[in-house]
Amino acid sequence: MSLTATLLAAAGGLTAVIHEGVVARGFDDLRPAHGFAFARLAPGGATAADLAEHLGVSRQAASQMVEELVGKGYVERRPHPDDARARLVVLTDRGWACTRAAEAAAADAVRPWAALLGERRLQALRDDLARLAPGGPIRPNW
């Protein structure tokens, strides 16, 4: 199988396993796409416009997602400290709990890889991939 196919298959499988792990930990009202949003919100919150750019969708779509996540209790809107037009979207306690669950699920998914490849090659894999994806937080993708 080609490199591109293996890479896409690995990423697709990883996405699925993480999502299953998140669901298994009780957060069953989320879709993989929400992981993107959490990744952007976690550091210190973001505006809906920030989120739209990060996710690659319209501001209206991002706003709708925020509304959905507010309704489900994962985020809340706070007044923006510097701009009265904007609203800062931040994770709630439940949002943080879900983020930790996702990290735990990701760790579970990766653990067997260490057994398959060994620590040395796994570390090399991590380093190599980091060099190939310099653009950074493009689109996490559960």
Site pattern 33..72 for a second copy (x: CB under 8 A): ------x---------------------------------
Which of 21, 45, 95, 140 is the binder for a second copy (CB under 8 A)? 140
- Angle ∠(3,56,60) on CA atoms, nearest 5: 155
Q: Evaluate whether 11 touches 141 at the Cβ level (below 8 Å).
A: yes
What sections of 1-142 are H helices per DSSP? Answer: 3-24, 32-41, 48-55, 59-71, 93-117, 119-132
24 binds, options a second copy, DNA, none, Cβ within 5 to 8 A by partner type: none
Q: What is the largest CA-CA distance in the chain?
A: 53
Quick one: how many helices (H) and strands (E) in the chain? 6, 2
Residue with Cβ nearer a second copy (83 or 125): 125
31 binds, options a second copy, DNA, none, Cβ within 5 to 8 A by partner type: DNA
Per CB under 8 A, residues contacting a second copy are 1-15, 18, 39, 106, 109-110, 113, 116-117, 121-122, 124-126, 128-133, 135-141
